[in-house]
Amino acid sequence: MPNIAYVNGRWGHLASASVSVEDRGFQFGDGVYELIRTYHGTVFHLQEHIKRLYESLKQIEISIKETPLRLEQIVQSGVKKSGHSETKIYIQVTRGAAPRLHSFPKGVRPTLVMTFRKLDPLSPKIFNKGVAIISVEDIRWGLCNVKSLNLLPNLLAREHALRSGAFEAIFVRDRFVWEGAGSNLFAVFGKKVVTPPVGHYLLSGITREVVLALGKKMGLKMSEAKISLAALYRADEVFLTGTTVEVLPVIRLNEKQIGDGRSGTMTARLYEAFQNEVS
């Protein structure tokens, strides 16, 4: 089955899809994106992802003619057309193609791109074993709630983590941990499950919201509060959430063991609840 792309109304094979070299996404990173996946062919929380896309667009002052409903329809037809058993859906909107000037171009149509690829899930082994993370200084800008194309700090952080033998890097700003390069962060202290609060320093993850709601439904003590790096070392359990990592246990932080160095029971309960939700 083909990997396909939608570019401003045109469908085609991903390999032959293209946009202008003057696209502001290419030249300035002037745009935003969403990454969504299917479970058993059903798009996971599509409305929430589209809603977040519009929130990101609003923050960077791009307006598109397509309605949220229209975007949902394009996503659904892309999933159908590509015919994968599970699909990884990427949506990108940029301010459009125009001669390179910092000022916003007038009368230019934003570029809307969607790609539909076969999803390669993480190996189940990784969920049993858990992963190592490192902390890095958060050198990102002040609007981390916007799912911006400007991912250089995230890319550098992730690469640094991989080179240190870790899976993910966690951003630290003013002594507090906020989120990973491509995931949100949770920590368990006794019976309390804590995740840093939404605001300008993290992306409000769709998976994060789902896990918070599931935990509450299960009667767990879920809360949103700042977590210092020092406190994170003392957590009983740590886990990451995100479209690609789902609910992923963390067993080491900067070479130090978290809890007893194994995936914890609270994490396992939330992982199971999440898997039930998507099965």
Tell me the torsion sign for CA atoms 149, 45, 218, 270.
negative
* Beta strands 131-137; 168-173: pairing state: parallel
147 catalytic per annotation: yes
**Which stretch, 4-12, 60-68, 77-85, 175-183, contacts ligand PDD (CB under 6 A)?**
175-183
**Which stretch, 65-73, 188-196, 238-246, 263-271, contacts ligand PDD (CB under 6 A)?**
238-246
C-beta separation of 118 from 86 below 8 A: yes
**Integer Cα distance of 243 and 278 in angstroms:** 12
- In the complex with ligand PDD, the residue whose CB is nearer, 135 or 183, is 183
Which of 25, 96, 110, 182 touches ligand PDD by CB under 6 A? Answer: 182
Q: How far is the CB of 23 from ligand PDD (least distance, A)?
A: 19
Distances (CA, A) of 228 to 175, 196, 234: 6, 10, 10
- In the complex with ligand PDD, the residue whose CB is nearer, 78 or 205, is 205
**Which stretch, 11-19, 54-62, 201-209, 217-225, contacts ligand PDD (CB under 6 A)?**
201-209
Q: How far is the CB of 159 from ligand PDD (least distance, A)?
A: 14
Task: Determine how many CB atoms are found less than 10 A away from the CB of residue 15.
Answer: 10
**Integer Cα distance of 95 and 108 in angstroms:** 8
Backbone angles phi, psi at 192, to 5 degrees: -95, 135
Q: How far is the CB of 212 from ligand PDD (least distance, A)?
A: 11
In degrees, rounded to 5, the angle at the alpha carbon of residue 253 between the alpha carbons of residues 230 and 124 is 140
Q: How far is the CB of 243 from ligand PDD (least distance, A)?
A: 3
Residues numbered 33 to 72 that lie near ligand PDD (CB under 6 A) are 35
| Start-end of H helices in the chain | 24-28, 46-59, 68-82, 124-129, 152-163, 206-217, 229-233, 265-278
Residues numbered 104 to 143 that lie near ligand PDD (CB under 6 A) are none
205 interacts with ligand PDD by CB under 6 A: yes
Sheet with 31-39, strands from edge to edge, namely: 10-13, 4-7, 111-118, 87-94, 31-39, 42-43
Q: How far is the CB of 123 from ligand PDD (least distance, A)?
A: 17
- In the complex with ligand PDD, the residue whose CB is nearer, 98 or 158, is 158
- In the complex with ligand PDD, the residue whose CB is nearer, 37 or 252, is 37
196 interacts with ligand PDD by CB under 6 A: no
Spatial CA neighbour of 64 closest among 105, 30, 93, 107: 93
Which residues here bind ligand PDD, judged by CB under 6 A?
35, 179, 182-184, 203, 205-208, 241-244
Q: Which residues are catalytic?
A: 147
